[in-house]
Structure 1
Amino acid sequence: MARATVAVVSTSALALAAGCGSDAGATAGSSGSSKAAATTITVYTDQHAELVEGLTKAYTAASGVRFNIQNDATVGQIQAEGSAAKADVFLSEDPGPVAQLGSAGLLAPVDPTTLEQVRPGLSSGKGLWVAYAARTRVLYYNPTKIAESALPKTLADIVALRYKGMFAWAPSGAFVATTQYLLDTQGAAATKTFLEGVQANGINEQKNGNVRDTVEAGKHAMGLSNHYYWWVLAGQKGGPDKLTSKIYHFPAIDPGNLILSSGAGVLKSSQNQPAAQKFLAWLTAKDGGQKLIAGAPAEVSEAQYPVAPGVASSVSGDLSEIKSPTFDMDSLADSQQAESLLKQLGLSKG
């Protein structure tokens, strides 16, 4: 999104900040102490800048802690910096990068009480990073092009010949993660067959935003993407009822509904470990970061799902309603097999 939205982000985030206090935030900035005011946390992130800015501004308002933020950070950068890394915290958009840092031994264990604030199965099974938000894979469809009753019942069904030329897709990070999940659970042969069907019968629109926009415009009847792109557009247009397209969740537990966590981890090399751990505790607290993600407008929350039990998004709903398979998010630390297969088939430039 354009940086022109930053002023909106700041205003919305600060408006919510007064109601986003938590024990963790209060401890970090108790009594307005000069120590809290002097604390600065350095965040490396590949998450959407609007969400990171909204969360960090709210935490600053609640605790006095300030932030240095480097957007578009990569795992390779952190690995190259090693023990000299300036980051205290890494905030990922997808589970793969933060899981990769954990697998490389670069993350400190997350406080167990913080991990307990999140729905089971969304964070590192090894306790090395914690989920703070989530997105789901979905199917967009345009009801002027296809009736809901005619939609595929599973992700595998979409490559049937009857849907040839009717659906769009994009080789995004989430598509790579889904491919790795299929490789891990269904094997190489079945995954290759599915991807060959996607290649033969679908249209590569390169980016998830393009998938959304072309389905909305009626260029394609359907499109595989992430849920939040649609909700962000709905917010821009004045509400879901202003869009022609709709979101479809596959009716049974299915990889087409895959939940992918956004993860937060504390770097082992951080000289600011206590403050960084307190920030993670606030991010995952019902009355902290989860309240902001749940209640902020889509231009701040990116319409992502909060991950604390019993907390639902005012935009996209309750994550508990999504029929995603359960799996170990740490398994996405190595997606080389998926990336190699996609490149081999010509589905990704790699």
Structure 2
Amino acid sequence: MRRPLARALAALAATALFLPAVAGCSGEPAGLVIYSGRNENLVAPLIEKLEEHLGTTVDVRYGGSAELSAQLLEEGDETEAGLFLSQDAGALGALSKEGRLTPLPPATLDKVAPNYRSSAGDWVGVSGRVRVIAYNSEKVTAPPGSVHDLVKPEWKGKIGYAPANASFQAFVTGMRVLEGDEATRTWLKGLKANSPKAYDSNLNVLDAVDSGEVSLGLLNHYYWYEKAAEKGADKLRAKVHYLPNGDPGGLVNVAGVGLLKGADKQQSAYAQKAADFLLSAESQRYFAEETKEYPLAAGVEQAEGVPPLDSLQPPQIDLGRLDSLKATLAMLQDVGMV
């Protein structure tokens, strides 16, 4: 969410005013209505394939995952939607906590490892992304071994990050869950004191690392692999470092889906088929090959050059607990980062 805290929180309440206008494809009644926190440019090809798979029209209403989650909580059983496709686990966790998701059948859940699905069995991840440190190989010979090292004086003025980006905020929420609010606030203050350079997006952070404007950058792994596929890895001065030993800076977050409680019988049936389609080999290959995200369903491998997910050492966390975005935004504002 690329806005100051006041606007971000106001947007949660205002979403009901704009959602009806952010609507999908056809004037005819849709067989399935999806609220999507994933970008239209990213998922539109999959939606077209989904319509063919279901044999019905699909109406997709796009927005930020946090705003859409808040909207669905407000709509309750009156929602027209059958499926929520979220960019991150936290928004799904917020719905799960309020009992707004329908339990998924074991056959759907079991396609994905337990740490990438709801512990309550009511949402499942469809693609994964890993937080990494990008570093300029001409300026940095040994990248930091922990995100906690970024508060050391040697990195003053040399770090790029995107504090208003949802993925950075999810990482901060993960640190709060893993290490507590006091430790997270202390780390944020230390990072702020090291004069990091703020950018609008992960991609801009990566470009700054590659150009040497900064030495290190905090971002999601797939930005580097997309750029490497476009330009050639050997043409990039930026390299990518996966943090070991369960470091909070190596959080694996997921995009996922949940079936909405209160949807009518037809919506629910189509939503279930849609969830299974997004976990199909066809969809999983799309995430791996087109976006360089991690496929989460068993049997589909990551893109060439991307390290296997089971070779990493991410922190162990219940991803549903990434639902406290408001508290994270308040903390970031308090330390002067948004």
Taking structure 1 as the reference length, the TM-score comes to: 0.81
How many percent of aligned residue pairs carry the same amino acid? 32
Superimposed CA distance per residue, residues 121-155 of structure 1 (whole angstroms, 9 cap, x where no aligned partner): 111110111100111100111112211x2x11111
Contact 2:246 2:316 in 1 (8 A): no
Q: Which residue in the other structure is 2:275 paired with?
A: 280
In 2, distance between residues paired with 1:233 and 1:70?
Answer: 29
Whole-angstrom distance in 2 between the partners of 1:82 and 1:310 = 36
**Using the alignment, how far apart are the partners of 1:164 and 1:331 within structure 2?**
32
Partners of 1:240 and 1:58 in 2: CA distance: 31
Q: Which amino acid aligns with 1:221?
A: S
Alpha carbon RMSD of aligned pairs, Å?
1.9
**Does residue 291 of the first structure (1) align with residue 293 of the second (2)?**
no
Does residue 191 of structure 1 match 2:184? yes
Kindly state the Cα deviation for residue 291 of structure 1 after the two structures are TM-superposed.
3.0
Q: For residues 35-67 of structure 1, what are the alpha-carbon distances to aligned partners after superposition, in whole Å with 9 as ceiling and x for unaligned? A: xxx972111111122332232223334443431
Structure 1 contact 312–319 (Cα < 8 Å) conserved:
no
2:169 alignment partner in structure 1: 176
Q: Deviations over 1:301-340 (max 9, x none)?
A: x221101234222253422222111111111122333222
Deviation of 1:117 (Å): 0.3
Residues 39, 66 of structure 1: 8 Å contact kept: yes
* 8 Å contact kept, 1:167–1:223: yes
Q: CA shift at 1:181, angstroms?
A: 2.0
Whole-Å separation in 2 of the counterparts to 1:234 and 1:65: 38
- Opposite residue 168 of structure 1, the aligned amino acid is G
1:180-329 alignment runs, 5 A limit: 180-201=173-194, 202-237=196-231, 239-271=232-264, 272-285=267-280, 287-294=281-288, 296-297=289-290, 302-315=291-304, 316-329=306-319
Runs of 4+ aligned structure 1 residues displaced above 6 Å come to: none
Q: Given the alignment, which residue of 310, 321, 332 partners 1:342?
A: 332
Say if 2:46 is the partner of 1:51: no
Letter of the structure 2 residue corresponding to residue 164 of structure 1: K
Deviates most, 310-319 or 167-176: 310-319
Distance in 1 between the 2:188 and 2:96 partners? 29
Say how many residue pairs are matched: 302
Match of 2:8 in 1: none
Deviation at 1:282, TM superposition (A): 2.1
Amino acid at match of 2:298: P
Give the C-alpha shift of residue 183 in structure 1: 1.9
Structure 2 residue ranges without an equivalent (≥5): 1-28
* 1:162-210 C-alpha deviation (Å, 9 max, x unpaired): 1111111111222222222222222222212111111111222242222
Letter in 2 for 1:278: K
What runs of 5+ residues in structure 1 fail to find an aligned partner? 1-37
Q: Counterpart of 2:139?
A: 145
One-letter amino acid matched to 1:313: Q
Alpha-carbon distance change, 204 to 222 in structure 1, aligned in 2, over 3 angstroms: same
In structure 2, the residue corresponding to 1:333 is in which secondary structure? Answer: coil
**1:114-153 pair list within 5 angstroms:** 114-147=108-141, 149=142, 151-153=143-145
Q: Is the 8 A contact 1:311 1:318 kept in 2?
A: no
Q: Secondary structure of the equivalent of 2:115?
A: coil
Tell me which residue corresponds to 1:6: none
Worse overlay, 159-168 or 171-180: 171-180
CA positional deviation for 1:249: 0.8
Q: Deviations over 1:19-38 (max 9, x none)?
A: xxxxxxxxxxxxxxxxxxx9
Match of residue 162 from structure 1 = 154
What secondary structure is seen at the aligned counterpart in 2 of 1:220? coil
| 1:35 paired residue number | none
Whole-Å separation in 2 of the counterparts to 1:50 and 1:318: 26
Where in structure 2 are the equivalents of 1:106-121 lying within 5 Å? 106-121=100-115
